[in-house]
Amino acid sequence: MRRWLRHVPNVLSAMRIVLILPIALSLEHHRPIVTLWLFGAAALSDGLDGFLARRFGWQTELGGLLDPIADKLLLAAVFVMLSLLGSVPLWLTMTVIARDCIIVLGATLHRVWLGPVVARPSALSKFNTLCQVTFVLVAVGAPQFLWPRVWLVWLGALVFVTVVVSGIDYVLVYGREAVRETRSARRVGRDRPSSA
């Protein structure tokens, strides 16, 4: 199999980043159908790049960074635009962005102090992403298709709960892992024979 194929998931992740600007512009110009198509394509690329990486073993270090970054940037940009347009409450957007900032900050500190982070999205985190994507699709499509307002309210509540719970879960899981790695490094340092 051609070696360049292993970079296809990375190309799909990069495509999501490229789509951020067109999606933001279509939201700004009140083109819900175009927005739904573009956002839908981005969401499908997210599922496809993960499937290809797992199915064919095309995981790369770049892909491990690019995929979550693309997801977070895309969703953050859409939430911000929807808040500016008055479709999504600002507090919900701030909650979504705050969770991502905490995760990125934690990963950065881990990399600086302990070494590379192995990203392992939990089932709860994946469910949270699914809730956010569904919420965005409904928020964009509701005015166009006259969907009941209650859908948006319930989905917004679900997004808030899963954002908070998955954020706490990330802090606890990776916090415990960081403590374990720190203790292990200290033990290795104590057990290492002195050169004196």
Contact between residue 174 and residue 110 where contact means Cβ atoms under 8 Å apart: yes
Q: 158 lies in a domain? A: yes
Q: 141 lies in a domain? A: yes
Mean pLDDT of the region 52-71? 79
The C-alpha torsion from 101 through 103 and 106 to 108, rounded to 10°, is -70
Domain that holds residue 51: 3-191
Q: 167 lies in a domain? A: yes
- The domain tally of the chain equals 1
Name the residue with higher pLDDT: 176 or 23. 23
Q: 169 lies in a domain? A: yes
Residues 6+ apart with CB under 8 A from 92: 79, 83, 156, 159, 160
Q: 123 lies in a domain? A: yes
> pLDDT grade, residue 175 (50/70/90)?
confident
What is the structure's pLDDT at 40?
92
What is the structure's pLDDT at 2?
62
Q: 196 lies in a domain? A: no
What are the tens digits of pLDDT across the range 121-165?
Answer: 788 988 999 999 999 999 999 988 888 989 999 999 999 999 999
Name the residue among 68, 57, 76, 77 with its Cα closest to residue 13. Answer: 68
Mean pLDDT of the region 165-194? 77
What is the structure's pLDDT at 69?
87
> pLDDT grade, residue 185 (50/70/90)?
low
Q: 155 lies in a domain? A: yes
Q: Is the pLDDT of residue 57 over 90?
A: no
What is the structure's pLDDT at 194?
53
| Residue carrying the six token digits 């995760």 | 103
| CA–CA separation, 147 and 135 (whole Å) | 12
> What rounded mean pLDDT belongs to the chain?
86
What are the tens digits of pLDDT across the range 80-115?
Answer: 999 999 999 999 999 999 999 998 888 777 777 777
Tell me which H or E stretch contains 172.
Answer: helix 149-191
Q: 93 lies in a domain? A: yes
What are the tens digits of pLDDT across the range 10-46?
Answer: 888 899 999 999 999 999 999 999 999 999 999 899 8
Which CATH number does the domain housing residue 155 bear?
1.20.120.1760
Q: Is the pLDDT of residue 196 over 60?
A: no
